Amino acid sequence: MNAPERSAGSPRPEWYRQLARFQERSWSRAIGQMLTTIVPYFAIAGLMVYSVVNEWPYWSTLAMALPAVLFLIRNFIIFHDCTHGSFMPSDRANRIVGFFTGALAFTAFEPWRRSHLTHHATNGQLDHRGIGDVMTMTFEEYQAASRWKRLQYRLYRHPFVMFFLGSIYTFLILNRFQGLRGTPAERRSVLLTNAAIASIAVLVSVFFGFGTYVAVQLPIIFVAGVFGIWLFYVQHQFDPGYWAHDEDWDSIDAAMKGASHYNLPSVLRWFTGNIGIHHIHHLRPRIPSYALHRAYVATPEAHVEQPLTFWRSLAAVRYNLWSEMQSRFLSFRQAARIMRAQKRSTV
């Protein structure tokens, strides 16, 4: 990064304080975002229903699923902003919009909000892993683990399990129950979200058949889930990355070094609500997605020297273990080489 190196607990720099001016929420910007996201999403989904009912080739229905997926991802960014209370000037409006956009994304607002805010509070903290983040073992933990635990972790980290099975499990199964053991607000949020999803399914099924609902909804939510998990994954799994124990952890370093700037093409930046500028989002989570790019441009001190490109980001699937000694991610292959070398040195 261009900002000078910091020690844990250092005073926050002036450029960080100046970022607060971009936290202003706007009714017009928020309503405009909703209109340009939710209306096209329903229009495309409706056309997909029409194509199935009229027995168009199913490949044409699937072709329409891709733009629907992009608008659903943009819908999720609105949902995400609402969990931070950063989308609309009214907290009540944020909760209402968050519930509605969450139902479209098969995700209950209150439990996801709690887990995501925990993620922000503990990002990069080795002593507080496990809530709202991608499970990450250190190399030292992996080395000391049993073969069974290593196998479990390797399966969890396999790209097919992480992204494809993970999409099905997270959005179709886990989100239907997560939060039912939480606060009354979380339980209510899960039950109302499930009721909203069921109501849409029943409504479409009554008029067009359950098979039509599945043929349209399933590919959209599955592919959107794959892309959504990938976006979240690559935002925090990149080289060299950042993890630290409590005594060495610093919130600004955790944002600048532990959250990526995913420099996507302009079209994808629009569909992803600029969430690729993730280090700025972690510096100031109350900045709305529609102000993130302006905040980035206006703050050269928060620019990174090498933003993460799409092609460079593909290497992230190999970043499986955090090495405390090297302060960077290792692949399973690199870990195996180090363990073999250590074993030979002790013989």
- Write down the pLDDT at residue 2: 46
Q: What is the rounded distance in angstroms from the CA atom of residue 71 to the CA atom of residue 177?
A: 25
Q: What is the rounded distance in angstroms from the CA atom of residue 297 to the CA atom of residue 290?
A: 13
- Write down the pLDDT at residue 130: 85
* pLDDT beyond 60 at 3: no
Radius of gyration (Cα) for the chain, nearest Å? Answer: 21
Residue 239: pLDDT band with limits 50, 70, 90: confident
Which stretch of 6-10, 107-111, 143-147 has the lowest confidence by average pLDDT? Answer: 6-10
Higher pLDDT residue, 284 or 347?
Answer: 284
HEC per residue, the chain? CCCCCCCCCCCCCHHHHHHHHHHCCCHHHHHHHHHHHHHHHHHHHHHHHHHHHCCCCHHHHHHHHHHHHHHHHHHHHHHHHHHCCCCCCCHHHHHHHHHHHHHHCCCCHHHHHHHHHHHHHHCCEHHHCCCCCCCCEEHHHHHHCCHHHHHHHHHHHCHHHHHHHHHHHHHHHHHHHCCCCCCHHHHHHHHHHHHHHHHHHHHHHHHHCHHHHHHHHHHHHHHHHHHHHHHHHHCCCCCCCCCECHHHCCHHHHHHHHCCEECCCHHHHHHCCCCCEHHHHHHCCCCCHHHHHHHHHCCHHHCCCCCECHHHHHHHHHCCEEECCCCEEECHHHHHHHHHHHHHHHC
* pLDDT tens-digit readout, 167-187: 999 999 999 999 999 999 999
Q: State the average pLDDT over residues 287-312.
A: 93
Q: State the average pLDDT over residues 182-195.
A: 97
* pLDDT beyond 90 at 220: yes
Residue 305: pLDDT band with limits 50, 70, 90: confident
* Interstrand relation of 321-323 and 328-330 (parallel, antiparallel or unpaired): antiparallel
Give the closest residue to 141 by CA, choosing from 317, 321, 340. 321
- Write down the pLDDT at residue 4: 47
Amino acid identity for residue 189 in this structure: S
* pLDDT tens-digit readout, 122-147: 999 999 998 888 999 999 999 999 99
Q: State the average pLDDT over residues 20-46.
A: 97
Compute the mean pLDDT over every residue in the chain, rounded to the nearest whole number: 94
Residue 342: pLDDT band with limits 50, 70, 90: confident
Residue 11: pLDDT band with limits 50, 70, 90: confident
* pLDDT beyond 70 at 8: no
- Write down the pLDDT at residue 345: 80
Q: State the average pLDDT over residues 209-224.
A: 98
Angle CA 330–334–339, to nearest 5: 110
pTM of the complete model: 0.93
- Write down the pLDDT at residue 199: 97
* pLDDT tens-digit readout, 81-101: 999 999 999 999 999 999 999
